C-alpha cells in the first residue's frame, strides 16, 4: 500500500476532523487517492492559491496570491490591518471606508497552481 509517512497521516487526521475517513486503496498511488479527495480538503488548508476576498459592505474585491495556506495568509492580512500597514490593500479599504470589514469567512479560491511559485 503506497503510504507517505507523516504526509498522509496528517491529511488523514485533518480529514477525520471533518468527519471523513480516508482509506488509501491497494494499488493506487497516493497522488491518485489525494486527487479524489482534493475537494474534501478544507479550502483554507490548501496552498498556492489565488484567492478573492470581498468587503462585507460594498463591491470591493481583493485578489491575492499566496504560496501559504489561506489560513496562514489571513493571519498576515489581519496583522497588516491591525498594525495599519498602508501597503495592505485590505487595510486601505477599511481605512478609507468607515464601517467596512473584509469578509474573511467567505473568501473564494479562484485558482490553484502548484507550480506558480517555483523559482521565485
Stretch that binds Zn ion, among 7-15, 27-35, 70-78, 90-98 (CB under 5 A): 90-98
Check binding of 91 to Zn ion (CB under 5 A).
Answer: no
Check binding of 60 to Zn ion (CB under 5 A).
Answer: yes
Determine the Cα–Cα distance for residues 63 and 39; give it in Å rounded to an integer. Answer: 21
Site for Zn ion (CB under 5 A): which residue of 58, 63, 109, 110? 58
What does the DSSP assignment read for 60-118?
A: -EEEEEESS-HHHHHHHHHHHHHTT-TT-HHHHHHHHSTT--EEEEEEEEEEE-TTTTT
Check binding of 62 to Zn ion (CB under 5 A).
Answer: no
Determine the Cα–Cα distance for residues 107 and 53; give it in Å rounded to an integer. Answer: 5
Check binding of 100 to Zn ion (CB under 5 A).
Answer: yes
The C-alpha cell at 64 is 491575492
Return the number of the residue (14 or 103) whose C-beta is nearest Zn ion.
Answer: 103
Q: Please report how close the Cβ of residue 52 comes to Zn ion at its closest, in angstroms.
A: 14
Residues near Zn ion, by CB under 5 A: 55, 57-58, 60, 97, 100
Amino acid at each position: 500500500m503506497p503510504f507517505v509517512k507523516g504526509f498522509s497521516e496528517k491529511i488523514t487526521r485533518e480529514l477525520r476532523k471533518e468527519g471523513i475517513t480516508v482509506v488509501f486503496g491497494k494499488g493506487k498511488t497516493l497522488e491518485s487517492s489525494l486527487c479524489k479527495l482534493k475537494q474534501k480538503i478544507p479550502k483554507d488548508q490548501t496552498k498556492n492559491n489565488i484567492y478573492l476576498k470581498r468587503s462585507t459592505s460594498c463591491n470591493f474585491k481583493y485578489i491575492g496570491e499566496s504560496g501559504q495556506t489561506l489560513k496562514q495568509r489571513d493571519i498576515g492580512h489581519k496583522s497588516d490591518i491591525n498594525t495599519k500597514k498602508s501597503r495592505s490593500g485590505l487595510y486601505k479599504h477599511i481605512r478609507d471606508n468607515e464601517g467596512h470589514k473584509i469578509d474573511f469567512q467567505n473568501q473564494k479560491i479562484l485558482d490553484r497552481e502548484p507550480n506558480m511559485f517555483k523559482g521565485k
